[in-house]
Amino acid sequence: MTQISKKDRQELPALAPMLDMVEAGMGFVPNSMLTMAHWPELLGAFGGLGATILQTGDIEPELKQLIALVSSRASGCNYCQAHTSNSAHRAGAAEAKIAAAFEFEQSPLFSDRERVALRFGWHAAMQPNATEPSDFAALKQFFSEREVVEIVAVVSLFGFLNRWNDTMATELEPQAAEFGNRALAESGWNRGKH
């Protein structure tokens, strides 16, 4: 059961343009954002940060969402795994690739470039952080320093969301739950407390 109620969108006219943009991109407005709306300044700042990290930059959106998916798995956030799997699919990832995301080291569906990024995302999301200089050296074989910053930003954004949603026990939206049930079930994903 969620710990904090979600605000009704009608109560947030000043944030309507941002929420409309989020809905256009995801297909729904996440309940996590509607709980953040109890502090409108936080939601506004978070929306800007999320849009910058996920909608700009040089790394393709599909890979950013797969990094978010793997890092959310390392953090244990079922809510974010459902969201990022759905968002990866909306960004162009095939369901088979999403289903294999946690087997990226062995799966032939992933390139060496993707494996390096996903391994980094996994290590960076672990507690304690498990990144090593060798993880950065591997990244730099495929990614510029700016792109490495983008990858760290994705992991960091979802570190915030993983803590937020697990702590709040945010209610999982039907669209994300349905996709998670379909795409991630074989990997052991479940709704958890969401």
Give the least confident one: 25-34, 112-121, 177-186: 177-186
Taking phi over 0 as left and psi of -120 to 50 as alpha, with beta for the rest, 57 belongs to left
| Per-residue model confidence (pLDDT) at position 177 | 84
Short-list 90, 70, 89, CA closest to 80: 70
Residue 183's closest CA among 64, 96, 92? 96
pLDDT of residue 188: 72
Tokens matching residue 158: 């979802």
How confident is the model over 95-106, as pLDDT tens digits?
999 999 999 999
β strands within the chain, DSSP E = none
The burial of 156, by beta-carbon neighbours within 10 Å (0-12 exposed, 13-18 middle, 19 or more buried), is given as: middle
Q: Per-residue pLDDT tens for 117-126?
A: 999 999 999 9
* Domains present along the chain, CATH in parentheses: 15-20+28-187 (1.20.1290.10)
Task: Give the list of residues 6+ apart from residue 13 with CB closer than 8 angstroms, or none.
Answer: none
Say what the pTM is. 0.94
